[in-house]
Amino acid sequence: MPDHHSHDATRSPAADAGLDGVSADGLVQRREARMATNWIALIRLFDGTEIPCNIKDISKSGAKLGVPSSWELPPSFMLKVVGRDFVMRVTLAWRRGNYAGVHIDRIAKLPPPVEPAAPVEAPKANYDSIGMRSRRFHGD
C-alpha cells in the first residue's frame, strides 16, 4: 500500500501546488519563446485615450510593455505598433512599476491608408500676352 505522506522525487513542490510551468527556482516557464523588441506603440483605450508605450518583448500569446506607472491601465485595451498594419486586443496580465504584461486576445489587420485623390489638373493658362502692349492706334 502506498504511503500517502511520501513525496515523489520526480514532482516539484510547484507541481504539487498546482503551479505547472514553474521551475524549482520559482521562475515561470514560457510556452512560447519571447522576442526582444523596442517597438514604439500606442495603447488605445475604449474611450479614445491614447497612451504612448514601448513593446519590450513579444511572443505569440503575450507581450511586455514599458508604460509609465502614472497611467492606470484598464483590464483590456487595444495595442497598435507604430508603422505596422495591425492592431491587437489585449488583456492586462500583470503590472509592476513602469512595466505591464499583456495577453494577446486577438489580432486584426488594419485597412491600407486611404491615399488622397490626385489633384484635378486645371487647364494651363496662356500667359504669352502678359506684359505686351496692345496697340490702340494704328495710324500716324
Closest CA to 69 of 97, 29, 44, 41: 97
Average pLDDT, the chain: 77
Percent of the chain with pLDDT over 90: 51
Global pTM reads: 0.59
Considering only residues 99 and 25, tell me which one the structure prediction assigns the higher pLDDT: 99
**Domain range list for the chain:** 30-109
Whole-angstrom Cα distance, residue 101 to residue 55?
Answer: 10
In CATH, the architecture of 30-109 is Beta Barrel (2.40)
Is it the case that residue 29 has pLDDT exceeding 90? no
The predicted-structure confidence for 66-112, as pLDDT tens digits, reads as follows: 999 999 999 999 999 999 889 999 999 999 999 999 999 999 998 88
- Phi, psi at 93, each rounded to 5°: -100, -40
